[in-house]
């Protein structure tokens, strides 16, 4: 019985029988609640006497009846001598085994050498992990993501924001705009910083990510892409973003990407606390990523300069990074765009969105005793967030509670 040559292509498989000049392509697999596994099955041939395409259909890999019907169809379409019972059984058995076996189990040993987390672009993108970059609409997310792409693709080590990139091929999966808009924006960044010619890969997407992941993974491997930018989660998801099942399916598709992944998204609506902005939709969007950054804009009408602050709201493998101030200059609406650093301190819009830190509370207490309510009012934060920090500082011996309920700074408690 001839054995197929199996090629694992991410979430799909390719079986080739050289003796039969036959190839079976398996993809878009899903398992129903009853345990049946269905997916797309396509047969092609290298036999010059036939058209290369033989058949494509949705196939039930768990059904003997489906196997019998398919055998009859293939005997009519491809009249060469083929042991169809063996071929179809091999496809079903191997596909089900591969789908259900999961990832291999590896031995993990302690090591005297503690390796710090690696970054594709420090401090934004942890290597090989998904990162969420989210903001309100019109806050410059796409321009920031293309600046990041430029840093990685060149690589641009002396970039004005002092990001530390590692070279790689970048692919933008774009549900928001076509390639012309990406070309326009990249050209403006290039002109604004007098950069050499470079290219990134761009794909206009229309179907949800979980419906296109097979072809995307194949392209990623073919072009040796190691960084993918998803613009944005709204288009890439298949269903209501508030539903856990929608977000889970999206992140399962992201997990098939053998890359560092930057996901652009929007902020949740209706939040009252200025220091508690999260991503729109299911909690999966905030919890399933390794790193999460919020963009806070500060813009004025008729001002061509857009100021942004990037706040690191989550970092699984390190301390939270300091906020990053960015100024984007759009002086000419169709001309060069320049990025430069800007200060966070002294900007009331940015300071209002900074977390309640002990240092900020200590700086206020240096002026004299003050109540929790007054500190919260001055910082524009919730009473609870300020009270939590004050109690931590009290336990550390940095502040004390006065008889009148106000708080005072103990000498040396800054």
Annotated domain spans of the chain: 5-101, 119-351, 356-409
Task: Establish whether domains 119-351 and 356-409 are of one fold.
Answer: no
* Residue of 347, 339, 338, 283 lying closest to 311 (CA atoms): 347
Phi first, then psi: give them for residue 145, nearest 5 degrees. -65, -35
| pLDDT > 90? residue 105 | no
pLDDT at 413: 56
Q: Binning pLDDT at 50, 70 and 90, where does residue 272 land? A: low
Q: What is the pLDDT of residue 294?
A: 96
Percent of the chain at pLDDT exceeding 90: 74
Name which of 69, 101, 98, 71 is nearest 84 in CA terms. 71
pLDDT in tens, 389-406: 999 999 999 999 999 999
Evaluate the omega torsion of the peptide bond into residue 344 and state whether it is cis, within 30 degrees of 0.
no
| pLDDT for res 414 | 58
Q: pLDDT tier at 77 (50, 70, 90 boundaries)?
A: very high
In this structure, the number of other CB atoms found within 10 A of the CB of residue 319 comes to 7
Convert the pLDDT of each residue in 32-62 to its tens digit. Answer: 888 899 999 999 999 999 999 999 999 999 9
Assigned CATH topology for domain 119-351:
Rossmann fold (3.40.50)
Q: What is the DSSP string of 335-389?
A: S--EEEE--STT-HHHHHHS---HHHHHHHHTT--B-HHHHHHHHT--HHHHHHH
| 271, 277, 279, 283 alpha-carbon torsion, rounded to 10° | -80
Question: What pLDDT digit, counting tens, does each position of 215-232 carry?
Answer: 899 899 999 999 999 999
Count of positions (residues) in the chain? 414
Question: What pLDDT score was predicted for residue 30?
Answer: 86
Residue 174 confidence class, pLDDT cut points 50, 70, 90: very high
Q: CA angle, 247 as apex, 225 and 320 as ends, to 5°?
A: 70
pLDDT at 156: 97
Q: DSSP 3-state assignment of 324?
A: strand
Is the per-residue pLDDT at 271 higher than 70?
Answer: no
Provide CATH code, domain 356-409.
1.10.10.10
| Neighbouring C-beta atoms of residue 81, cutoff 10 Å | 7
How high is the mean pLDDT of the chain?
92
Q: What is the pLDDT of residue 131?
A: 98
Q: Which pLDDT belongs to residue 382?
A: 85
């Amino acid at each position: 019985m001839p054995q197929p040559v199996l090629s694992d292509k991410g979430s799909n498989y390719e079986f080739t029988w050289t003796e039969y000049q036959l190839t079976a392509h398996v993809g878009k697999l899903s398992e129903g609640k009853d345990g049946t596994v269905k997916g797309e099955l396509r047969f092609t041939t290298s036999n010059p006497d036939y058209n290369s395409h033989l058949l494509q259909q949705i196939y039930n890999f768990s059904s003997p009846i489906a196997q019998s019907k398919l055998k009859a169809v293939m005997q009519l379409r491809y009249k060469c001598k083929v042991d169809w019972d063996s071929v179809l059984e091999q496809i079903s058995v191997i596909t089900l085994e591969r789908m259900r076996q999961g990832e291999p189990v590896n031995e993990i040993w302690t090591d005297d050498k503690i390796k710090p987390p690696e970054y594709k672009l420090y401090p934004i993108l942890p290597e090989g992990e998904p990162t969420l970059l989210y903001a309100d609409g019109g806050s410059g997310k796409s321009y920031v993501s293309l600046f990041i792409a430029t840093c990685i693709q060149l690589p641009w080590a002396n970039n004005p924001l002092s990001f530390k990139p590692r070279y790689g091929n970048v692919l933008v999966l774009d549900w928001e705009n076509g390639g012309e808009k990406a070309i326009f924006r990249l050209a403006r960044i290039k002109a604004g910083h007098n950069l050499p010619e470079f290219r990134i890969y761009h794909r206009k997407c229309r179907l949800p990510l979980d419906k296109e992941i097979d072809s995307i993974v194949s392209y990623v491997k073919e072009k040796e892409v190691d960084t993918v930018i998803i613009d944005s989660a709204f288009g890439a998801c298949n269903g209501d973003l508030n539903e856990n099942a929608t977000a889970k399916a999206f992140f399962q598709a992201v997990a098939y990407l053998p890359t560092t992944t930057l996901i652009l998204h929007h902020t949740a609506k209706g939040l009252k606390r200025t220091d508690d902005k999260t991503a729109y939709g299911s909690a999966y969007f905030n919890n399933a990523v390794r790193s999460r950054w919020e963009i806070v804009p500060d813009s004025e009408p008729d001002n061509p300069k857009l100021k942004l602050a990037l706040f690191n709201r989550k970092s699984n493998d390190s301390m939270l990074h300091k906020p990053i101030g960015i100024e984007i200059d759009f002086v000419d609406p169709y001309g060069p765009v320049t990025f430069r650093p800007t200060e966070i301190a002294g900007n009331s819009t940015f300071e209002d969105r900074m977390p309640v830190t002990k240092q900020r509370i200590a700086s206020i207490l240096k002026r004299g005793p003050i109540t929790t309510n007054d500190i919260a009012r001055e910082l524009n934060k919730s009473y609870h967030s300020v009270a939590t920090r004050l109690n931590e500082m009290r336990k550390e011996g940095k502040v004390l509670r006065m008889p009148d309920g106000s708080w005072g700074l103990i000498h040396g408690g800054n």
